[in-house]
Amino acid sequence: MEFIRIEQKNKDLKKIERLYITAFPEDERIPFVYLQKKLKKKTTYLYALYDPSFKGFVYCTLNKDILYIFYLAIQDEDRGQGYGSSFLKFLKETFSHCRLVLSIEETSLEGHNKEERLKRKQFYMNNNFIECDFKMREAGVDYEMLAYPSRVYFPEYKALIISYLGHIGYKMYYQLKE
């Protein structure tokens, strides 16, 4: 198993983009070209997992001592084989000085994919993530916030997203869910 940091120009970006488009609903996706552009920042990371072929990717950004996992996806045929947990272990070790934070679709809401949302939350809880004390609405989608090894608080999360998107981007897409 090998984790490789992917730079802005890499032959496997097309594989990553295909998985990105199939793994995340359109209303949860930032345009892929924007994600690629942000790879210029030293604090933005895209890793691909190979075993030996491409299995998945993780896209994240760092601000101070917080690593935000924007996207983690494993190929459909490779799910349930421990690759997602391996990615989280890799991030915990690589960024051992950091708290990791991520958002998942809110599990308390009824909807067509409630079982999938509950399974996703259980996956992260099984990997020792804990609930944060706030929820977010991003581009109209409600999210719960999970963190490892300790909570991240709203002001820290807001500062992280502003460092990535800027103030205007934050105001356009994000709001604290009351």
Say what the pLDDT of residue 110 is. Answer: 80
Per residue of the chain (178 residues), give pLDDT as tens. 999 999 877 888 999 999 999 999 998 999 999 999 999 999 999 999 999 999 999 999 999 999 999 999 999 999 999 999 999 999 999 999 999 999 999 998 787 788 999 999 999 999 999 999 999 988 888 999 999 999 999 999 999 999 998 888 888 777 777 5
Sketch the domain layout of the chain as residue ranges.
2-177
Measure the CA–CA gap between 67 and 18, rounded to whole angstroms: 24
Structural domain 2-177, CATH architecture:
3-Layer(aba) Sandwich (3.40)
For the chain, the farthest-separated pair of C-alpha atoms sits apart, in whole angstroms, at 45
| Listed residue (39, 38, 148) closest to 87, CA to CA | 148
Say what the pLDDT of residue 176 is. Answer: 75
Cis, bond preceding 31 (omega within 30 deg of 0): no
Q: Report residue 41: phi and psi, to 5°.
A: -70, 135
Q: Tally the C-alpha atoms within 13 A of residue 91's C-alpha that lie toward its C-beta.
A: 34
- pTM, entire model: 0.94
Measure the CA–CA gap between 81 and 84, rounded to whole angstroms: 8
